[in-house]
Structures are given as C-alpha cells and as structure tokens.
Amino acid sequence: MSIVDDVRDLARVEPEAMPIDLQTVDVDNEIAASFEIVEPLAARRGIEVSCSGAPTVARADRRGLRQVLINLLSNAMRFSASGAAISVGIDTD
C-alpha cells in the first residue's frame, strides 16, 4: 500500500507547488525503483519491461525523474497488448 500511496502523491504534485531540486542522481537506481512499482501490473498482464543505455549518474530532480518514469511505464503498459515487451532506452546525447 505504501507504493500505491507514493504513486498517488506523485500524481497529485502540481508543477508550481514543487521547486526543482537538482542533484546528482543514480539513474540506474531510479529506473529500478520505478520498475519495482509497475512490476506487479506488468506481471499480471504478462508484459516484460527492460531498460538499455542508462547512464550511471545524471543531474536531475529525483522525484520528478521517478514521476516521469512511472507515468511513462504505466502509459506504455496501458496501451500495450498482453505479452508485449516494453523497452526504455536512455540516450545521453
């Protein structure tokens, strides 16, 4: 339930209400944490989720990055057929 509450909190965030907190973020950890949150839904639908090309670290707002990743993955699963494969690719250019 705490994961669901975290996702709901992230969904309620209004852009004006939260300042951007730039910091050095381990992108691999944020992707892994986001995958953990959406994994139960992916498993129920038989969808495989993977990532390639992720940088080790980046300057980003950790909470915003996680919100974007969760939204991206959730939407991809919502519009993918059962048994599909979703791949997240990150380009540093």
| pLDDT of 1 strictly over 60 | no
Q: How far is Cα 17 from Cα 30, in angstroms, rounded to an integer?
A: 22
| H or E segment and range at residue 16 | none
Q: Are strands 48-52 and 85-89 parallel, antiparallel or unpaired?
A: parallel
Q: In the structure, what pLDDT confidence band is assigned to residue 14 with cuts at 50, 70 and 90?
A: low
15 or 87, higher pLDDT: 87
Structure letter (DSSP) for residue 69: H
Tell me the per-residue pLDDT of 28-67, one tens digit each, with 9 for 90 and over: 888 888 888 888 888 888 888 888 876 778 899 998 888 8
Picking from 83, 82, 88, the residue whose alpha carbon sits closest to that of residue 68 is 88
Q: Look up the domain containing 52 and give its range.
A: 2-89
89 or 18, higher pLDDT: 89
76 or 13, higher pLDDT: 76
Instruction: Give the number of domains in the chain.
Output: 1
| pLDDT of 80 strictly over 90 | no
